[in-house]
């Protein structure tokens, strides 16, 4: 009935670029599966000075081997 809301502290990926209008894009770490990343999931982006509370709103595959 309810989603698993357990805290994940793993490194999900690396931010490649972004903007306030267009959002943020991330390259998924090789050890992570795109099938485990769900839209609507809350994540924290750790910056040098600040942490940013965000929501995953879209998942897109641009290239595959």
CB 44 within 8 A of CB 54: yes
Average pLDDT over residues 3-14: 69
Share of the chain above pLDDT 70, in %: 83
pLDDT for 24 equals 92
Residues 21-44: pLDDT tens digits? 989 999 999 988 888 889 999 999
- pLDDT band at residue 1, thresholds of 50, 70 and 90? very low
Q: Is pTM beyond 0.75 here? A: no
| Strand pairing category for 23-28 and 42-46 | unpaired
Type and span of the H or E element at 62: none
> Can you point out the beta strands (E) in 1-65?
13-19, 23-28, 42-46, 51-55
Tell which wins on pLDDT, 18 or 7: 18
| 21 and 27 Cβ atoms separated by less than 8 Å | no
């Amino acid at each position: 009935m309810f989603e698993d809301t357990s805290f994940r502290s793993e490194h999900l990926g690396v931010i490649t670029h972004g903007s306030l209008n267009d959002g943020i894009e991330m390259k998924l770490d090789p050890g992570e599966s795109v099938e485990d990343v769900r839209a609507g999931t809350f994540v924290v982006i750790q910056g040098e000075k600040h942490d940013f509370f965000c929501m995953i709103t879209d998942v897109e595959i641009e290239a595959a081997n």
